[in-house]
Structure 1
Amino acid sequence: MLRKVTVETGVVEGIPAADPRITVFKGIPFAAPPVGELRWRAPQPAKPWVGVLKADHFGPIAMQEVPGKDPNAFYSKEWHVDPDIPMSEDCLQLNVWTPAKTGDEKLPVMVWIYGGGLQCGYPAEMEFDGERIARRGVVFVSVNYRVNVFGFFAHPELTKECGDECCTNFGLLDQLAGIKWVKRNIAAFGGDPNNITIGGQSAGGGSTTAHICSEMSAGYFQRAIIQSGGGFAKGFNQGYATLEEAEQIGCEFLKFLGVSSIEEARKIDAKTLFQKSVEFPAPRKDTHAFEMKWNIVIDGKFLKEDPVQTILHNRRSQVDILMGNTLAEFLATPQVKTVQEFKQYAEENYEEDAETFLKLCGYPNADLETMRQKATINNFEIGNLIWARLNYELGCKPIYFYRFNPEIPGDDAGSFHSSDLWFTFETLAKCWRPFKGKHYDLARMMCNYWTNFMKTGNPNGLDADGTPMPEWKPFTKDNERAMYFGDTPHMDTEGYSDVETLTFEHLYKKWKASI
């Protein structure tokens, strides 16, 4: 097995995974520690080390709330289970799982970007074990990056100081630095630097979308996997602050800190700075992006416009895409208290289609709660559908689109946001939930589909016993269908509610008219 590898900064030695045919290298520095004068700077080159780096443990997670601090929080039960996990501002390390026996095998490569709203998250989350993916002949890499105020702060002093260097979006720049490191070094691990897939879920999916839409990231990967990334959903991948707006937030934050310069702010210890950033009042604006204090910035360098505009005008990187969502995430129900307010909601949101919308919801004869439930839609799904249709109409390669909605045991959360991660990584055995045979079968096939896509851009192929898996057809004009991951995988026969279909067609019409 390939246990010792030489990379650009030295020799690194990994350890056998649970399956000894896989070697895992944990905590490899891919950039210099972003501390002191390097706080709020684009990632700088890592320094060489002397001797052999024992890559036998994950590096510290980025500064954030302590995972599992609130034992009653939903994700504390899922995977934020270790409040004692090391945390540090010195966090720019990555991890590699490889099945290679030599460094010349040219295996496909996957670079994973974790989610957490750009405020938290880390590669060491137990669902992100790359072993099962590596067992299928893929070199898997997970990259750490700065989040919250450490990753998405902006200030006029930084803009002046950085010159031609990017002056914000440090978390995205960390991700890109990790991807570039993979491009330069992954051959030593048996990977093919010309066959790289990037991907992530939630904010990791949004980050992947940003890389697809950034000229700075173009050419470093061939495929992308976007799990619950939002697509064209209202407030996601759009409505980001301009550099000037982000700088103003930064000025207000320095006042809140009681300092007058970036130099002073860099001297504040990381724990105190993070706590102050949590206490800092959030700016309010009518977009999801602005409700988050520290978020992606349209800085004119990494991003020149909102990603949805880049996609809409077909200015994105033309890479293969696999994309989808879970069916119980971010459900939107009209927040109205009277029938008259419901009618007003319809007129404001559906305009010329308001009458049809009201009829589909049972207006005026149904009771208010019945109408509200009929009006409930999955924003992420609508946003993804818009991208998938637009994609083929613009002449791009069709997207492989999925909907995830199996029975999830243990509680009544359903196919909640992030529940698909246990399945795509095939790590169900680490979960507290009482999964059984059908879940393990589904996870095996989903991991097969994902890794097939990483290899060739096509998810189809054989199951472990050599039989063909159900065919996953791409989303095209003649097949506006998703692969439906219920208790078994099959092309979607469940379909969408009448209100979801109307919402999709209404919003798609508006987006097309805006081109």
Structure 2
Amino acid sequence: MLRTANTENGQVRGLPAADPRITSFKGIPFAAPPVGGNRWRAPQPAENWQGVRECFEFAPISVQDTPGIGDDIYCREWHVDSEIPMSEDCLYLNIWTNAKSADERKPVLVWFFGGAFQWGYTAEMEFDGERLARRDIVVVTVNYRLGAFGFLCHPQLTREQPDAPCNFGSLDQQAGLRWVRRNIANFGGDPDNITIAGQSAGGGSVMAQMACRDNEGDFQRAVVMSGVFGSPYEVNDFFLPQSPELAGKKGERLFEYLGVKTLEEARRLDADYIRSKYSELRNKGEMFFTIVQDGRFCTQDPMAAFRNGTRIRVPVMGGNTGDEFMEFINASDDDGLAEKAKEYFGGRAEEFLALSEARVRTEFGYAPVSAPELGTKEAFLGENSQNEPKNCYYYRFIPDIPGKDNAGTFHSVDLWFFFETLAKCTRPFEGRHYDLARQMCDYWANFIKTGDPNGFDINGNKLPQWKPYTDTDRSEMLFTSDGAKESVEQSRLVRFLLDKTK
């Protein structure tokens, strides 16, 4: 097995994974520590080392709120260790490979975790790359800076370092991807067959990387899980790029809150102090969470780039869970609904009101619809309208999820399935869940290898057909309690809302 490998900075040694046919390398530096004068700068080259570096454990997680404190669903699900090491020195990546030699050129997955750009880390237990590695995928998980450390924008930064004034977390991801291009062949990977993937903010990150034209050629396909949002009723600006002026005002308020006036003073502050003060400010609504149109990394809205064909056009797999991020029309009665329909849909209001789904009323409002479903499908229809469109494959994750909390298909629960890591979860999953996870991981592996999820599972059985989502064939893949099932878009409300945006 390939237990040692060369990198551009020195040699590394990994350990056998739970399956000894796989080697895991954890905590490989891909950039210099972003501390001191490197705080709020683009990632700098890592230093060389002598001898063999033992890459046996995950590096410290990015500076963020302490995980595992509280009883919310994510603390119960995977943020379970309140003593996990944390440091501003966090630019490391991890690799799982089943290669026996460095010349095997296996397809590569580069994974960006989610967490609203405030939380998350590669050491989360659901991101174990072993099951994908058993399918001949070289898996790489890349850490990046978060919150005020990763996404600060400030006028002083804009003046003093115009080549990289902001978007540091996104630049970390880009640096990790480029490190993979330069080094992954030494781990048995193919630098010309890379898929970038992410979920939630990680999915939004994939969208941002696709919109950055400087990344042309750095990857051949992409996976966006629960990371694209369509807002049929009210504007949702979470993933919309901000102007440097607006984002810079937030940076000025952070400096004021920190009690500093200059960038030099801010770079001398203790990281834990910045963390605690930023957490207070974020809880008051001042959140650093999205890319800024800096004219360098970000020159366009990633969603618009997908729709109009100006992104890096590669095949994409994307979708959502059934119960996450539902949008509603906020109206107190049917008359209020009618008024809102006129506001949103103008001359098509009566057509909207004639839909039975529009009259569905919940405690949150009328006409519930999934924002990630709409966003993903809208993006895919935009690609489908281009010349020689790239295939885009849509999925919806809707199985039963066991547990006393009756959480349903909550945001992020599909990660246990795609990575096939259910055995690490405390939920009482049964055989059907393990069967579904195996199918989902198989589809994902096929897509990473070829850009097409179709083919055979790990046992050699032909998988149910998964057709691309197009304007003329609204095919969906439903991941259900009874396994993967091909379907065609059933919701008339979704069709109406999508046709409205065309």
**Range into which the TM-score falls when normalised by the shorter chain:** over 0.9
The reply on whether 1:406 has 2:399 as its aligned counterpart is yes
The reply on whether 1:440 has 2:434 as its aligned counterpart is yes
Q: 2:377 matched to which residue of 1?
A: 385
The reply on whether 1:273 has 2:274 as its aligned counterpart is yes
Confirm or deny: 8 A CA contact 1:187 1:193 kept in the other structure.
Answer: yes
CA deviation string 1:215-238 (max 9, x = no partner) = 122221111011111154452575
Q: CA deviation at 1:120?
A: 0.7
Q: 2:317 matched to which residue of 1?
A: 322
* Secondary structure, aligned partner of 2:109: strand
* Secondary structure, aligned partner of 1:346: helix
Q: 1:296 matched to which residue of 2?
A: 291
Q: 1:204 matched to which residue of 2?
A: 202
Q: Distance in 2 between matches of 1:371 and 1:150?
A: 38
Q: Distance in 1 between matches of 2:475 and 2:431?
A: 27
The reply on whether 1:106 has 2:105 as its aligned counterpart is yes
Aligned residue among 188, 191, 195 for 1:190: 188
Q: CA deviation at 1:239?
A: 3.2
Q: 2:134 matched to which residue of 1?
A: 135
Q: Which amino acid aligns with 2:209?
A: H
Q: CA deviation at 1:282?
A: 7.2
**1:348-363 alignment, distance < 5 Å:** 348-361=343-356
Q: Structure 1 residues 419, 246: closer, same or farther in 2, change over 3 A?
A: same
CA deviation string 1:158-198 (max 9, x = no partner) = 122214x2110000000000000000000000000000100
Confirm or deny: 8 A CA contact 2:147 2:287 kept in the other structure.
Answer: no
Equivalent residues, number: 496
Report the TM-score when normalising by structure 1: 0.93
**1:66-145 alignment, distance < 5 Å:** 66-70=66-70, 72-145=71-144
Deviates more, 1:447-456 or 1:225-234: 225-234
Q: CA deviation at 1:240?
A: 2.3
Q: Which amino acid aligns with 1:276?
A: K
Confirm or deny: 8 A CA contact 2:116 2:289 kept in the other structure.
Answer: no
Q: Distance in 2 between matches of 1:386 and 1:283?
A: 33
**1:445-460 alignment, distance < 5 Å:** 445-460=439-454
Q: 2:179 matched to which residue of 1?
A: 181
Q: Distance in 2 between matches of 1:177 and 1:267?
A: 25
Q: 2:417 matched to which residue of 1?
A: 423
Q: Structure 1 residues 417, 236: closer, same or farther in 2, change over 3 A?
A: farther
Q: 1:513 matched to which residue of 2?
A: none
Confirm or deny: 8 A CA contact 2:281 2:287 kept in the other structure.
Answer: no
Confirm or deny: 8 A CA contact 2:357 2:493 kept in the other structure.
Answer: no
Confirm or deny: 8 A CA contact 1:206 1:229 kept in the other structure.
Answer: yes
Q: 1:252 matched to which residue of 2?
A: 253
Q: Distance in 2 between matches of 1:491 and 1:282?
A: 43
Q: Structure 1 residues 83, 362: closer, same or farther in 2, change over 3 A?
A: closer
Q: Which amino acid aligns with 2:343?
A: E
Q: Distance in 2 between matches of 1:18 and 1:370?
A: 46
Q: CA deviation at 1:464?
A: 2.9
Q: Structure 1 residues 146, 372: closer, same or farther in 2, change over 3 A?
A: closer
Confirm or deny: 8 A CA contact 2:418 2:441 kept in the other structure.
Answer: yes
Q: 1:171 matched to which residue of 2?
A: 169
Q: Structure 1 residues 244, 373: closer, same or farther in 2, change over 3 A?
A: closer
Deviates more, 1:459-468 or 1:74-83: 459-468
Q: CA deviation at 1:436?
A: 0.7
Q: Distance in 1 between matches of 2:240 and 2:213?
A: 19
Q: Distance in 2 between matches of 1:7 and 1:451?
A: 26
Q: Distance in 1 between matches of 2:187 and 2:258?
A: 45
CA deviation string 1:17-70 (max 9, x = no partner) = 000000000000000000001000000000011211110000000001111111
RMSD: 1.9
Deviates more, 1:135-144 or 1:268-277: 268-277
Q: Distance in 2 between matches of 1:348 and 1:201?
A: 33
Aligned residue among 210, 213, 216 for 2:214: 216
CA deviation string 1:101-156 (max 9, x = no partner) = 00000000000000001111000000000000000001000000001000000112
Confirm or deny: 8 A CA contact 1:283 1:293 kept in the other structure.
Answer: no
Confirm or deny: 8 A CA contact 1:374 1:499 kept in the other structure.
Answer: no
User: Percent of aligned positions with the same letter in both sequences?
Assistant: 48
Q: Which amino acid aligns with 2:89?
A: D
Q: Which amino acid aligns with 2:462?
A: P
Deviates more, 1:312-321 or 1:3-12: 312-321
**1:152-163 alignment, distance < 5 Å:** 152-163=151-162
